Structure 1
């Protein structure tokens, strides 16, 4: 069974690569994976991961990685959105590991962290159009739709009472 641990500084680049790899498949990118990663590093640099200490740990949150041996196969993060509300971020799992309950295990760890740290609600944003499996997963976890709170018009907000 893969192990879930806090992200270390020396793992940040690999965590970004996992996210880019999943996005490459999710969005059916026609470029090679390497070209996609190069493009994403410019257009979608995931600066929050490079500075995860400030973005997550110093903001009432955590950043976790799921590893099989030394290889990162998934990510999940949480940060303070507002008083009493945590935001779930960066929940990504390599395609070959999906459908095994591993995303569920990561989400449980994030929600446990939120509860232990006094959050009353967890929120996230996702796109039912581009990420229908993720949307269905969040609904199965008990999240309900709320008005979108971010900038992406394709996203919907979702919330779970903790």
Structure 2
């Protein structure tokens, strides 16, 4: 049974998933364009870190970073390689949107790899399918040719 719950990214179970995400980001583009957060940073204030489980097996993670402009940044969405192809990243992204919406966040924003970085093709396609649109640099970032910035307005659920 798939379940998502808030968790500690520094735990022995989840740290390897966060580190796998960090390693992927390090290898996918130049260091100056890598905005991936460490497990310790993801455990910090203003971050809601979630893990996705199948029964008790941790398969992935995702987080929200609350920003002072009324938005929340999606961070560290990662599904372990052996669990990919099951739609779990979509499940995590939907969960994060629902969580942010319930907290009154006006929009979700994110930074991912630009079009010339094929390692991020699947992520960009997922975000597009979920209704994210491309935008300029989000809060805390500057223009970067290696980054794509995206935004999803959150309408309250009726």
TM-score after normalising by structure 2:
0.75
Q: 1:133 matched to which residue of 2?
A: 122
Q: 1:32 matched to which residue of 2?
A: none
SS in 2 for 1:8: coil
Q: 1:66 matched to which residue of 2?
A: 52
- Greater helix proportion: 1
SS in 1 for 2:75: strand
Does the 8 A contact of 1:85 with 1:120 survive in 2?
yes
Using the TM superposition, name which of 129-138 and 62-71 deviates more: 62-71
Deviations 1:9-55, CA, capped at 9 Å, x for gaps: 662x54332133356568779xxxxxxxxxxxxx99944x225443x
Structure 2 CA distance for partners of 1:46 and 1:23, relative to 1, 3 Å:
closer
Q: 2:2 matched to which residue of 1?
A: 2
Q: 1:86 matched to which residue of 2?
A: 72
Q: 1:35 matched to which residue of 2?
A: none
Q: 1:109 matched to which residue of 2?
A: 95
Please tell me whether residue 77 in structure 1 is matched to residue 88 in structure 2.
Answer: no
Q: 1:96 matched to which residue of 2?
A: 82
Q: CA–CA distance in 2 between the matches of 1:51 and 1:66?
A: 19
SS in 1 for 2:91: helix
Q: CA–CA distance in 2 between the matches of 1:100 and 1:26?
A: 22
Structure 2 CA distance for partners of 1:46 and 1:28, relative to 1, 3 Å:
closer
Does the 8 A contact of 2:72 with 2:107 survive in 1?
yes
SS in 2 for 1:132: helix
**How far 1:121 sits from its partner (Å)?**
0.7
Unpaired segments ≥5 residues, structure 1:
30-42
Unpaired segments ≥5 residues, structure 2:
29-33
Q: 1:144 matched to which residue of 2?
A: 133
**How far 1:99 sits from its partner (Å)?**
1.9
Q: CA–CA distance in 2 between the matches of 1:2 and 1:114?
A: 20
Does the 8 A contact of 1:4 with 1:66 survive in 2?
yes
Q: 1:36 matched to which residue of 2?
A: none
TM-score after normalising by structure 1:
0.74
Q: CA RMSD in A?
A: 2.8
